[in-house]
Structure 1
């Protein structure tokens, strides 16, 4: 019998690989088609829809399409990079992308058969000082005697045969440069240097990596851009496989509303939320969905739907009990929001039940509503001597980091009036890390006018570097008075705006919203294809502006509605200089 000190035998390596595949089949290969219903899952293959991948072109800022099958074949400076950084906005599909790789390896796809092990490690779940071996050990069956140090030693001895995937660097709390634990060393390439490692993160964390010269030498950078237009339709058709009418109507809504199509629908989590709302809505509520423009509005409608559903199951006397239940839910959301806020600030995304000891009843209610969930796990055998009376560990978490950020935003906004000192302390911390807390700022500013004014004022003081965040937050706040103040600041000196293909769809929507409230002399639109909604909005701005005197169009395609709107609304030409270039 092999000793625990001996290297792993071929049979042990194979058995570990089989255990990893079993773990993935049980725990990873289910997709929640409803982000808020933890029991509604489908097999990965049934609902998975291809994501758009982009890679940085060497020596430029340009991103070019990358075929999934070329992921591990793309060379940088003539060599295959050992480290890959995959960045994507919240909800863009980074975790799903990791699951896809594990699925393909488990099911024998040629692209990953060079590896005997593929190890997918969610960074939000790791405990301080855990090694890769410690984490991989938890994936093994109880009857597998292989020890963590043997797993680590096997990776070290056979680096080309193991592919490590670290999912969620932005959810990892720690200084990568200074920390001495295993995960930090691997990310720095101080450990497992010859092993292929893929790391996913939100853009703000990727920017930190890119600003470090040593990291830049090591990593190739890839972006997950969510769904393209064709795959949006494919996903919706898969979701509504048994309801072709609902599928057809939702696809049409998205095609007709390019603000939703470009801002929300490319993100798997938002398209899933839209599908859930569409499925559960009558004709009146579907009209509300058609008018959605911002992420914050979508989250608000999701919570309204959840609250309505929960209350409808609780009440017996509508006149007496309904208001009471809604008030109780708001109280529960506030208590959970407090925990969510300080979790976001301190990068805590997974909780134990003890973290909710001050509001246990609210936690249980939120689990019933669907905005929190329990997960029970066995305590690692090597740790059971520490917690001898607790063989299981109950974790509590939000459906997605974005939901935690939304609840945190609701609570932070509430402090503006109910606890202003706490608001100041928290906001001072948040605003200094605006890139990291971009979504928290979106959701906070969207709650009420006074908060929108405060948040945008703080961002104005941050200076020019935060211009796009300021515009995005203003759009999410969707407050006309705040937009006017922001516009007056942005265009106090230079009264011109250039919209080109380097600007995100969300930011374009933000500028169009701001432009409705201010005077603009020159508008430049370059290298963009504008759908019906943006085309109409642009035409409305041109028609309503009393100051616009120059319009420059270059390589831009508009929907027919752009020209129809101009023709119907412009009685006397106001723009005296129009430059066009095809």
Structure 2
């Protein structure tokens, strides 16, 4: 199933951002910038940004696939060599050539590879996926930083992907890049994806594909447009999960936490169905999946605070890791480098690492409050945006945890000068970070509880809820709070 994800070029201007849409992923390598009135040159350094699950990695995969297939209608085919590298798998003790050998070409001589790349740099494209998943030692990689700063292989085309909240950090380290924003699906893309999903589902289940696909699409769209998750449906990974749940019950969850919980339950049902002889007990399946997430959550949360998304298998309890692999939230892959053989463990998506971490973290609220607070104190004004989904899931899983987390988040916003204007007041307007406590509050589904009426929290959020245009939130969230 193929549905195009939108790509929007963003040119930084003195008085704002100039945007225009690309027709295809391949057009990323054809972007030109003006050097004078008539002279232009191709842009060689491009940063692809977007929220989790928007399609950044899919864009990289599409470019690599089109190049490998020699698609003549794709501009990517003009390059002689393409290297698609995953940043979270990079060994920080090696250089670019060693990384390419490790991930792609173990049988090729390093010296000959280096010589060819240096001699034909303009014919080379390097795709680096997942800067936001890089370890804190990534900048120490031999000559990778030089490539990113155009000090080496300046003529090569380098495309890097990252979550939007890491753009500032990236540009601070490596200089200005032309930015391509991946907003996810267009409205047409959403409808097309849903139509193709339902059609494939009917074919797989031997239904009459001529009957009811358009009707199902219309019904689903009406339901999702009335849902608080409507804006998130433009994110491909979220839309795929919504479709997956809809085809079973024709119902949609109300929050992001509820969505992930239902998807995990769906995965657990599928796992049990392979061997079950009796009818599945849904509650037992849910309890088992929650225990699995809890048992690997300690590794997941440590990884988040250490900026790690790739783990060694021996960091997990053996039984817990086997269960997590069976559930499908992690994968274990054999890695060979020279004479060393290890097993790398990665989560299905970073958001799955975050919800596993949240399951473990919220359980501590009743058993080890000091440990719970130790992790909470590591959430600061410098990383609160990176920890947004961990905080969302934690608040969605436990109201008791939310009662501790929300005042801490509010305190960060009140005390940290970067949220304030020149006069020292919290600037409510056009500040995306101030949306975070609203999302956390909404995940609790507790509009009128003590959380919502907590004086300090409520006084901070009330003008924001009533006045600010929240760019990333959906109207369902705003309406539900404006009623209070």
Shorter-chain-normalised TM-score: which range?
A: 0.7 to 0.9
Q: Which aligned pairs between 1:191-270 and structure 2 lie closer than 5 A?
A: 191-211=152-172, 215-216=175-176, 219-242=177-200, 243=202, 244=209, 245=212, 248-258=215-225, 259=227, 262-270=230-238
The gaps in structure 2 that reach 5 residues or longer are: 36-40, 203-208, 420-432
Higher relative contact order (CA 8 A, sep 6+): 2
Distance 1:273 1:151 in 2: 42
Partner residue of 1:553?
Answer: none
Q: 2:2 aligns with which of 48, 53, 68?
A: 48
Partner residue of 2:290?
Answer: 330
Question: Cα distance 1:123–1:222, how it changes in 2: closer, same or farther (>3 A)?
Answer: same
TM-score by length of 1: 0.70
Question: Cα distance 1:188–1:332, how it changes in 2: closer, same or farther (>3 A)?
Answer: same
Partner residue of 1:405?
Answer: 354
Partner residue of 1:73?
Answer: 30
Distance 2:379 2:112 in 1: 42
1:431-486 C-alpha deviation (Å, 9 max, x unpaired): 44111111111111111112122222111112263312222222233222334444
Superposed displacement of residue 249, structure 1: 1.8
SS of match in other structure, 2:250: helix
| 1:477 aligned onto 2:444 | yes
| 1:503 aligned onto 2:471 | yes
Distance 1:477 1:149 in 2: 57
Partner residue of 1:299?
Answer: 260
Partner residue of 1:92?
Answer: 54
SS of match in other structure, 2:410: helix
Distance 1:83 1:352 in 2: 33
Partner residue of 1:120?
Answer: 84
Partner residue of 1:133?
Answer: 97
Question: Cα distance 1:111–1:199, how it changes in 2: closer, same or farther (>3 A)?
Answer: same
Question: Cα distance 1:415–1:50, how it changes in 2: closer, same or farther (>3 A)?
Answer: same
Superposed displacement of residue 107, structure 1: 2.2
Partner residue of 2:313?
Answer: 353
Distance 2:186 2:90 in 1: 33
Distance 2:45 2:368 in 1: 46
The gaps in structure 1 that reach 5 residues or longer are: 1-46, 518-582
Superposed displacement of residue 248, structure 1: 4.2
Question: Cα distance 1:236–1:168, how it changes in 2: closer, same or farther (>3 A)?
Answer: same
| 1:104 aligned onto 2:104 | no
Please say which of residues 410-419 and 327-336 is displaced more in the overlay.
327-336
Superposed displacement of residue 304, structure 1: 2.5
| 1:423 aligned onto 2:398 | no
Q: Which aligned pairs between 1:434-445 and structure 2 lie closer than 5 A?
A: 434-445=384-395
SS of match in other structure, 2:195: helix
SS of match in other structure, 1:61: strand
Asked if the contact 1:262–1:505 (Cα under 8 Å) also holds between the matched residues in 2, the reply is no
Superposed displacement of residue 309, structure 1: 4.1
Partner residue of 2:38?
Answer: none
Aligned length in residues: 442
Q: 1:64 aligns with which of 6, 13, 20?
A: 20
Asked if the contact 2:438–2:461 (Cα under 8 Å) also holds between the matched residues in 1, the reply is no
Distance 2:12 2:182 in 1: 18
Distance 2:396 2:198 in 1: 31
Distance 2:364 2:438 in 1: 24
Question: Cα distance 1:247–1:141, how it changes in 2: closer, same or farther (>3 A)?
Answer: farther
1:232-274 C-alpha deviation (Å, 9 max, x unpaired): 1222232233424367425532344324674222111111212
Asked if the contact 1:87–1:224 (Cα under 8 Å) also holds between the matched residues in 2, the reply is yes
1:96-136 C-alpha deviation (Å, 9 max, x unpaired): 00011112212223402331011100101111223222232
Asked if the contact 2:265–2:286 (Cα under 8 Å) also holds between the matched residues in 1, the reply is no
Distance 1:274 1:175 in 2: 37
Partner residue of 1:42?
Answer: none
Partner residue of 1:448?
Answer: 398
Distance 1:272 1:322 in 2: 22
Distance 2:349 2:267 in 1: 16
1:310-350 C-alpha deviation (Å, 9 max, x unpaired): 4556666779x987665554333211111111112212222
Q: 2:413 aligns with which of 455, 463, 475?
A: 463
Distance 1:133 1:210 in 2: 24
| 1:490 aligned onto 2:461 | yes
Distance 1:198 1:409 in 2: 32
Distance 2:164 2:465 in 1: 30
Question: Cα distance 1:323–1:261, how it changes in 2: closer, same or farther (>3 A)?
Answer: closer
1:35-67 C-alpha deviation (Å, 9 max, x unpaired): xxxxxxxxxxxx121011112133113543233
RMSD between aligned residues: 2.8
Distance 1:452 1:66 in 2: 41
Distance 1:276 1:139 in 2: 33
Q: 2:145 aligns with which of 177, 180, 184?
A: 184
Distance 2:283 2:166 in 1: 43
Which structure has the larger Rg?
A: 1
SS of match in other structure, 2:233: coil
